Amino acid sequence: MKSLFGTLADGTEVHSWSLANGGTRMKVLSYGGIVQSLEIPDGLGQLANVSLGFDTIEDYVAKSPYFGALIGRFGNRIGEGRFTLDGEAYDVNSNDAVNSLHGGAKGFDKKVWDIEPFTKGSDVGLYLYCTSADGEMGYPGTLKVKVTYTLTKHGDWRIDYEATTDKTTVVNLTSHVYWNLAGEGSGTIENHELKIAASRYTPVDSGLIPTGEPAPVAGTPFDFRRTKVIGENLREAHQQLLYAKGIDHNWVLDKGISPKPEWIATLKDPSSGRTLRMATTEPGLQFYSGNFLDGTLVGPSGRAYRQGDALCLETQHFPDSPNRPSFPSTVLRPGQTYRSTTIHSFSR
């Protein structure tokens, strides 16, 4: 169940935890809470690892574009790495030109998490803990984080996030799995079908920061209200697609924030039949079409990853929320508990 995966330059050991339930098998690293491998069956029971990753800790440390990782303190971008909270100005680490991306240069994807396994009824899972010190990457407050990965008897993967702080701060946690339901290393996801329950998205500027209010998806390449093949509109010369080299946008989910996880998206690989259904409590979904994969990274299959060889579906609050009073708030105050849940259900 637990084995040594590798050792960091400072001597810290990184472990790999194996879980299996209901036909799904997954390997999780203590480094970044990374889902290193996630195997699900097709209709014939054939397992494939449907998430991009690496075989060695050295590759994760040196060059991972967040493969399978937990993202914090703040998923996606904060414009110019700046915001004001209760009248106080904060300058957080900028690691994406002038903007801050995924919590800054040393985000939660690069932390070593404490992991504890559990079994609860027919569920198995892992508790992942980390503490982010007051001021880390520029964020106020000591943030204590607990993430629960559960594999249910149906083979569903559920993520529950919890966090508390001792000073008012902002939080936006997510998971950065790169999906390819035909199997990592098997080529493009442009033939995957996707449906997203969102009538609006947040258009961005050339730095991928939202420009203002959400816009309707109707009549744009961003309309996934009906099941659509991902490649269908990907090469349209639409300014938003040109800025992002494809899709790298936040969908404003029609259901909004919900107390219980509600269905928001379905992804299907027609060749294998493998299907992922996602439900979340979050109000937003970042759909990223693997635009920065450029053929220089090689996965466990021994095959290189090229542009569009995977996609990410990151449930979250909207990018740059700390600077957008009209977006759902990402503020967390002492005494409150941040909670977020996302469920991935697999079928064939």
| Helix (H) or strand (E) segment spanning residue 243 | helix 239-244
- What amino acid is encoded at 327 in this protein? F
List the one residue from 312, 313, 332, 343 that touches ligand GLA (CB under 6 A). Answer: 312
Contacts with ligand GLA in 60-79 (CB under 6 A)? 65-66, 76
Q: Are 162 and 149 in contact (CB under 8 A)?
A: no
Which residues, numbered 232-251, are part of the site for ligand GLA (CB under 6 A)? 248
- Strand ranges (E), 262-311: 262-268, 275-280, 284-288, 297-298, 304-305
Q: Which residue, among 341, 290, 346, 344, has the nearest Cα to 147 in the 3D structure? A: 341
Q: How far apart are CA 44 and CA 272, in angstroms?
A: 9
174 binds ligand GLA (CB under 6 A): no
CB 35 within 8 A of CB 50: no
Q: How many residues bind ligand GLA (CB under 6 A)?
A: 10
Question: According to CB under 6 A, which one of 16, 37, 64, 286 is a site residue for ligand GLA?
Answer: 286
Segment 185 to 214, residues that bind ligand GLA, using CB under 6 A: 208
Q: Considering only residues 15 through 44, tell me which ones interact with ligand GLA, judged by CB under 6 A.
A: none
Based on the shown chain and the rule CB under 6 A, indicate whether residue 107 belongs to the binding site for ligand GLA.
no
Q: Which of the stretches 15-23, 152-160, 285-293, 302-310 binds ligand GLA when contact is defined by CB under 6 A? A: 285-293
Residue nearer to ligand GLA on the CB measure, 64 or 272: 64
Question: Between 248 and 269, whose beta carbon lies closer to ligand GLA?
Answer: 248
CB 314 within 8 A of CB 76: yes
Q: Candidates 116-124, 156-164, 272-280, 286-294 — which segment interacts with ligand GLA by CB under 6 A?
A: 286-294
Minimum CB–partner distance for residue 140 and ligand GLA (Å): 24
Q: DSSP letter for 62, please.
A: H
Catalytic residue numbers, as ranges:
176, 314
- β-partners of residue 109 are none
The amino acid sitting at 25 is R
| Residues in touch with ligand GLA (CB under 6 A) | 65-66, 76, 101, 208, 248, 286, 288, 292, 312
